[in-house]
A and B are shown apart, each in its own frame.
Chain A
Amino acid sequence: MSPLDIIRTSLYSLSSNRLRAALALLGIVLGVCSVITLMSIGRGSTDRITELIQGLGSNLLTVVPTGAPLTLADVDALGDPLYTPSIKAVAPQIGTFGTIHINNNTTQAPVNGVTPEFLQVRNLEMATGTFIGAPHVESRAEVVVLGSQISEDLFGNQDPTNAEVRINGRRFRVVGVLASQTGFGSMDDQALIPITTAYYRLSGQRIPGGNISVEQISVQASDVDSVDQAIEEIETVLRLSHRLTDADDFTVFNQQEILDTFEETNQTLVVFLGAVAGISLLVGGIGIMNIMLVSVTERTREIGIRQAMGAKRRDIVAQFVTEAVFLTFGGGIIGVVAGITLATVIDGRFLIGAEWNTRVTNDIPLIALIVSVAVGLFFGIYPAVRAARLNPIEALRYE
């Protein structure tokens, strides 16, 4: 039997019961559609996370103390281009928690002590006013830069520049408001003050030698390619200044590493979502098998006639397997179209309280189609073999 005959025969058989073929198809359509939609959502969320993390700058490194404290002396050492040529900027940070209030409005927020470099290192932008300047740090000035959310909470739509707020009872003058920024490390709900002010005026802790201890140091490498170089320089400088001979008493976090970890986690999520959707495809496949078994029983006489006309077992198998594959392939194509449409429609929309991001990559429909054909082959073979094993004499007698 030539391939063309097999295809023609299968199409003839499918067309003889259109409603049933359509219903069997539906299972595959839904399966493929959900595979494509869920995988696109997975890809989309990966993209979104990547975008958010990269918003911080992929050349951003973070140093935190794990033993001895990090001090402003360490910050100065790291900022010396003689020792750290791959480092562009260094921004130390002290975090405290404060109660900010003006008149009767009160809000609780993290209050960070920072230096002017913080603006550049963390990719921040001002909405109004200016950022904390070097003179502020030197004079331990009581000035504050508000995150956009805090500004809105306390002042509504008014420009808070030059207004006075109280942080933990102390008066601070607002010098600027940060532009709103989504993503990781967003400063929207935080307030920034000079690091010296935070240390001497708000925080109670002191370390011997009059050095200011910092909670973390953000380091900006000169570019993405010099990140590894920068890490080495940080380690060398800090080990020297801390006079270490064995284990580090600090840890350097690489933004790229965090990104990789996230992507890995998300990739697992994508595969998981795909597998869940794959189950519905499996159910669709079982539906196909069911329909094919019914079809074989119903067409016992036809099979008998074909056998009497000289059809070999492989001809019968080919006919029924091709029918099953047609069903799943057809369902796969419709499912791909439906899935891509659905993924496109929900992209960027807020539904059930979340923003949905989808991305249909070329491999997703391809995989879905291959899988649906494989499902047809897998679930079509058993009914087809049963058809081929019929005894022609009994099949011809079947009513």
Chain B
Amino acid sequence: MPATSANDAPVIQIRDVTKIYEMGDGTIQVRALDGVSLDISDGEYVAIMGASGSGKSTLMNIIGCLDVPTQGTYQIDGQAVESMSNDRLADIRSRKVGFVFQTHNLLPRLTALANVELPMMYGHWPNRRQRAENALELVNLADRMDHRPTELSGGQQQRVGIARALVKEPSVLLADEPTGNLDTSNTAEILNIISDLNHQNGITVIVVTHEQDVAARADRVITLSDGHIIADEPNGARSADESSPFGGERGRERAKRDRRGMRVEPRGKVDAGDIQGSATVAVGDHRSD
């Protein structure tokens, strides 16, 4: 199936979104996002980059309808989310968003098939089993359907995670550091699957990452810093060096260091982020958590 051409109305439309977290007794206010505006069209493959504390997690939570903005408007598929109740948000998550997590977040006692069926439980989906099987076939796991997560490799678990995100045909596939816990070969495998889903099945993909080679697969790279978008550029050459805000050599260097850090601490995200954060303090464009 060829990539569908982008519709006129964007799938994601974010206007002047500000998110303020209140710490303590409301005395300390943290502006995690500050006046962010962003459009993402149907079929796009977007990477959101930024260091820890840049606001990319907050942006992801808002795009994924796990959180609502303090100010500004956000529409997903033309539906305004900012004033929705918890249940309506849950409904939007159920129908429009497919999450892929860094730590897979599969339910350990369910088989791969049951894990993929899980999101369809919340909403009245017919043919759940058939759909789940199709989704698992799409990520080449047809022969592992009855395995539990502990019986699967990290890469296979993440493929189950992707199948679970896909199964309801969401408006957007939202991947948060999808390869953060994986080694190099599994990373490549997962990124290939995500690219294929975007190119061949026309699924809108948003990947949140701090890794250059993950972002390099995207058509468009958005870079956040201190709650602002500091760069939003197409990634035509799909070259990490061209679009890197850090410059080629340093970017590659950082990516290596991150992976090395993760091999030592396989649980990953926080530790890797800390390593990254401390390594880039000298650069001066990051804020530590």
Contact = CB atoms under 8 A, between A and B. Distances in A.
B121 interface: yes
A163 interface: no
A12 B93 CA distance: 24
B122 A393 contact: no
A2 B124 contact: yes
A5 B64 CA distance: 25
Interface string B105-129: 1010110000000110111100000
A311 interface: yes
30 contacts: A1-B122, A2-B121, A5-B121, A12-B109, A15-B109, A302-B107, A305-B105, A306-B118, A306-B122, A307-B90, A308-B64, A308-B93, A308-B99, A309-B93, A309-B94, A309-B118, A309-B121, A309-B122, A310-B90, A310-B91, A310-B94, A310-B95, A311-B90, A311-B94, A312-B87, A312-B90, A312-B122, A393-B66, A393-B67, A396-B101
Contacts of B66: 307-308, 392-393, 396
Interface string B186-220: 00000000000000000000000000000000000
Contacts of A304: 105
A9 B90 contact: no
Interface in A310-343: 310-315
Contacts of B107: 302, 305
Interface in B77-100: 86-87, 90-91, 93-95, 99
A308 B174 CA distance: 11
Given A310-B93, A396-B66, 10 more contacts: A2-B121, A5-B121, A306-B118, A309-B118, A310-B90, A310-B94, A311-B122, A312-B91, A314-B87, A393-B61
Contacts of B164: 309
B86 A310 contact: no
Given A1-B121, A9-B121, A393-B61, A313 B105 contact: no
B63 to A, nearest CB: 13
A70 B34 CA distance: 106
A16 interface: yes
B129 to A, nearest CB: 13
A301 interface: yes
Contacts of B123: 310
A16 B148 CA distance: 14
B208 to A, nearest CB: 13
A9 B122 CA distance: 12
Interface string B44-84: 00000000000000000100101100000000000000000
B119 A309 contact: yes
Which of B105, B118, B119, B121 has the most C-beta atoms of chain A within 10 angstroms of its own C-beta? Answer: B121
Nearest to A314: B87
Contact of B87 (A1, A302, A313): A313
Interface of B: 61, 64, 66-67, 86-87, 90-91, 93-95, 99, 101, 105, 107, 109-110, 118-119, 121-124, 164
A392 B121 CA distance: 18
A171 to B, nearest CB: 92
B121 to A, nearest CB: 5
A315 B95 CA distance: 16
Contacts of B95: 310
Nearest to B88: A312
B122 A313 contact: no
Nearest to B164: A309
B90 A313 contact: yes
Interface of A: 1-2, 5, 9, 12, 15-16, 301-302, 304-315, 392-393, 396
B86 A313 contact: yes
Contacts of B90: 307, 310-313
Nearest to B87: A312
B71 to A, nearest CB: 19
A287 B107 CA distance: 26
B187 to A, nearest CB: 22
A5 B110 CA distance: 14
Nearest to A388: B86
A310 B123 CA distance: 8
**Which of A1, A304, A396 has the most C-beta atoms of chain B within 10 angstroms of its own C-beta?**
A396
- Quick one: which of A5, A305, A309, A393 has the most chain B CB within 10 A? A309
B67 A310 contact: no
Contacts of A307: 66, 90, 93
Contacts of A310: 90-91, 93-95, 119, 122-123
A15 B86 CA distance: 30
Contacts of B124: 2
Contacts of A306: 118, 122
B86 to A, nearest CB: 6
A339 B207 CA distance: 60
Nearest to B108: A16
A396 B105 contact: yes
A2 B99 CA distance: 23
Contacts of A308: 64, 66, 93, 99, 105
A393 B89 CA distance: 13
Q: Which of A16, A305, A307 has the most CB of B within 10 A?
A: A305
A1 B110 CA distance: 18
A323 to B, nearest CB: 14
Contacts of A396: 66, 101, 105
Contacts of A393: 61, 66-67
A385 to B, nearest CB: 13
A16 B110 CA distance: 10
A307 B99 CA distance: 11
B121 A16 contact: no
Contacts of A305: 105, 107
Contacts of A9: 121
